[in-house]
């Protein structure tokens, strides 16, 4: 059977679809705004409307490629904290509250008192965790739980809808705040405290969910009953799957709306409190623990974007003007200091990973901001080692397509057409100054925000 492989990234802002051919080339790539509706409190997501948006986008891409054969496989990746209760017939009982919605602050504070909250989950209980949203829904919209047969994450919902099989991608379980990443089990005390709805079986990334049931994708010819639906998982770790295929045990510096640094260790067997990192599972459920550091990036830069033309000109430079830490009142000086501050914080995250046993392997920088050579060079210098960029591919969606393809064919697609790694080296003259700044920050309680 010939055909294309489809990867979907269900993001906070956009839905992204990538179609890969059997040589690993991008045949189609497009993003559209994620559909949102008002739920009486704030914005939310209607899961069936999201599926309809994806179906239209997939059909558009399939037709634009001129393929007569149906898609061979489909997988999804996404954030993980948002989801919906569904009935036995897999019909949602309500709307999905976005992960960034903070209406559940009070509920998060209540859950922080549960003994299992941090010692086993490796993740802080906050308003953006699923556990807090479950407790909020049980208190404010209990009717959504009355007929609930399963909780389905928004990332997994399209595959559940198309296959008729409820499940949760393994790497999304820790995002709830109720999963023990060390013992690989749900925490009964946390589930009870959060009033969690029934949870479906877990499937690791690359696991087969099923085939495509009847619906618009089959009616259009874009899919058939033989189109394989494959579990994906948490977006940034999913992207790391591809990067670690390029370089074993690679670390990731993903710089987009948020900055997420990522690594994996087999040396960590219990939670070790650190302000820089949280812990999760590798998407494919391999032995070991994922270490994640997350911070705002785009919002951090807003105060120095007063003149967008100046800001973009600074990013387009082959190298930032000025020297490390210079007291420069110019707009470009302020831009450089803002990038320095947030990049030093990322360095502290990588330092914390090293302390927990994450191997000192190559760093791959991805995301929209990685297109700036000046920024990549600055971060390489602050990190004290080269970073590698991989081009402009939608890496999360492409990673989902690659995992789907491997499940369907039994072989990994070649990466040579998909990513074009480029090494960016540090600036030798800046290394000592940044190393001194890093040492000062590491020895103090101050972390640049």
Among 235, 260, 287, identify where a domain stops: 235
Matching residue, tokens 């059977």:
1
- Strand 185-186 relative to strand 202-203: parallel, antiparallel, unpaired? unpaired
Query: Would you state the pLDDT for residue 444?
Result: 67
CB 118 within 8 A of CB 174: no
What 3-state DSSP class applies to 238?
Answer: helix
Half-sphere exposure of 180 (CA within 13 A, CB side): 16
Predicted TM-score of the model (pTM): 0.90
Q: How many CB atoms lie within 10 A of CB 305?
A: 14
- For the chain, first and last CA: distance in Å? 52
| Domain-embedded: residue 390 | yes
Kindly state whether residues 71 and 168 are assigned to the same domain.
yes
For residue 380, being part of any structural domain is answered with: yes
Helices and strands: H and E segment counts in the chain: 15, 21
Instruction: With respect to residue 243, please indicate whether it lies within any of the assigned structural domains.
Output: no
Same domain for 229 and 360, yes or no, is no
Q: Which two tokens stand for residue 337?
A: 């200091």
Instruction: Give a yes or no: residue 416 inside a domain.
Output: yes
Domain count, the chain: 2
Domain range enclosing 382: 248-442
Tell whether 226 and 274 lie within a shared domain. no
Indicate the Cα dihedral angle 242, 248, 254, 259, nearest 10°.
140
Residue 448 lies in a domain: no
Same domain, 154 and 266: no
Specify whether 217 is located in the same domain as 364.
no
> What pLDDT is recorded for position 448?
39
29 with 109, same domain: the answer is: yes
- Read out DSSP for 351-395? HHHHHTT-----EEEESGGGG-HHHHHHHHHHHTS-EEE--S--H
Asked whether residue 206 falls in the same domain as residue 277, the answer is no
Question: Residue 398 is part of a domain; what is its CATH number?
Answer: 3.30.420.40
Q: Are residues 228 and 161 in the same domain?
A: yes
Give the H or E element holding residue 190.
Answer: helix 188-193
Shared-domain flag, residues 405 and 258: yes
Whether 164 contacts 210, CB under 8 Å:
yes
CA 340 to chain centre: 24
Examine residue 242 and state whether it is found in any structural domain, yes or no.
no
* Cβ proximity of 148 and 198 under 8 Å: yes
Q: Which pLDDT value is given to residue 424?
A: 97
**Along the 449 residues of the chain, how does pLDDT read in single tens digits?**
468 999 999 988 889 999 999 999 999 999 999 999 999 899 999 999 999 999 999 999 999 998 789 999 999 999 889 999 999 999 999 999 999 999 999 999 999 888 776 667 878 888 999 999 999 999 999 999 998 999 999 999 999 999 999 999 999 999 999 999 888 999 999 999 999 999 999 999 999 999 999 999 999 999 999 999 999 999 888 888 888 888 888 999 999 888 999 999 988 777 776 778 888 888 876 678 899 998 889 889 999 999 999 999 999 999 999 999 877 788 999 999 999 999 999 999 999 999 999 999 999 999 889 999 999 999 999 999 999 998 777 889 999 999 999 999 999 898 888 888 999 999 999 999 999 999 998 876 444 33
* Alpha carbons 77 and 236: distance in angstroms, whole number: 9
**Strands lying side by side in the sheet with 422-424:** 278-280, 289-296, 258-265, 251-255, 363-366, 387-389, 422-424
Q: Are residues 130 and 200 in the same domain?
A: yes
CB under 8 Å to 245, separation ≥6 — which residues? 412, 415
Interacting residues of 398 by C-beta distance below 8 A, sequence separation 6+: 7, 18, 20, 26, 242, 418
Asked if residues 245 and 418 have their Cβ atoms less than 8 Å apart, the reply is no
> Quick one: 317 exposed, middle or buried, by C-beta within 10 A (0-12, 13-18, 19+)?
middle
- Do 197 and 323 have their domain in common? no
Place of tokens 């994922």: 290
Q: Which of 193, 213, 235 is the last residue of a domain?
A: 235
- On whether residue 315 sits in a domain, the answer given is yes
427-439 as b/e: b if 16+ CB within 10 A: eeebbebbeebbe
Report the b/e string of 110-124 with b at 16+ CB within 10 A. Answer: ebeebebbbebbbbe
**Is there a domain that residue 240 lies in?**
no
Residue 308 is predicted with a pLDDT of 95
Same domain, yes or no, for 22 and 156? yes
Using the 3D structure, point to which of 202, 235, 268 is the last residue of a domain.
235
Residue count (the chain): 449
164: its two tokens: 């008729």
Q: How big is the CA angle at 107 (ends 90 and 269), to the nearest 5 degrees?
A: 80
């Amino acid at each position: 059977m010939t055909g294309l492989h489809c990867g979907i990234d269900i993001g906070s802002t956009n839905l992204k679809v990538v179609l890969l051919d059997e040589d690993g080339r991008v045949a189609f790539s497009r993003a559209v705004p994620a559909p949102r509706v008002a739920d009486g409190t704030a914005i939310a997501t209607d899961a069936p409307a999201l599926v309809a948006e994806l179906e239209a986008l997939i059909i558009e891409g399939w037709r634009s490629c001129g393929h007569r054969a149906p898609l061979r496989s489909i997988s999804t990746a996404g954030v993980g904290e948002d989801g919906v209760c569904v009935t036995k017939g897999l019909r949602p009982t309500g709307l999905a509250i976005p992960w960034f919605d903070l209406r559940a602050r009070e509920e998060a504070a209540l859950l922080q008192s549960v003994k299992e909250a941090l010692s086993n989950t490796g993740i802080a209980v906050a308003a953006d965790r699923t556990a807090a949203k479950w407790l909020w829904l049980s208190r404010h919209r209990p009717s959504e739980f009355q007929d609930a047969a399963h909780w389905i994450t928004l990332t997994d919902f399209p595959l559940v809808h198309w296959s008729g099989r409820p499940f949760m991608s393994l790497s999304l379980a820790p995002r709830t705040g109720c999963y023990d990443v060390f013992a690989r089990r749900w925490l009964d005390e946390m589930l009870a405290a959060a009033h969690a709805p029934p949870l479906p079986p877990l499937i690791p990334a690359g696991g087969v969910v099923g085939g495509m049931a009847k619906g618009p994708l089959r009616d259009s010819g874009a899919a058939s009953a033989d189109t394989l639906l494959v579990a994906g998982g948490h977006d940034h770790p999913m992207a790391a799957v591809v990067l670690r295929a390029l370089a074993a045990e690679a670390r990731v510096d993903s710089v987009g709306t948020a900055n997420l640094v990522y690594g994996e260790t087999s040396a960590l067997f219990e939670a070790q409190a650190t302000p820089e990192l949280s812990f999760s599972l590798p998407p494919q459920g391999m032995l070991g623990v994922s270490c994640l550091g997350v911070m705002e990036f785009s919002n951090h830069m807003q105060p120095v974007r007063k003149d967008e033309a100046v800001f973009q000109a600074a990013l387009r430079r082959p190298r930032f003007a000025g020297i490390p830490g210079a007291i420069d009142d110019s707009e470009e000086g302020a831009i450089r200091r803002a990038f320095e501050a947030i990049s030093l914080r990322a360095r502290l995250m990588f330092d914390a990973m090293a302390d927990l046993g994450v191997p000192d392997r190559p760093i791959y920088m991805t995301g929209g901001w990685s297109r700036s050579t000046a920024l990549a060079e600055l971060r390489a210098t602050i990190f004290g080692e080269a970073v590698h960029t991989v081009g402009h591919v939608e890496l999360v969606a492409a990673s989902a397509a690659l995992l789907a393809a491997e499940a369907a064919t039994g072989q990994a697609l070649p990466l040579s057409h998909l990513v074009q790694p480029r090494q960016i080296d540090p600036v030798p003259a800046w290394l000592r100054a940044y190393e001194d700044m890093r040492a000062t920050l590491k020895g103090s309680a101050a972390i640049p925000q």
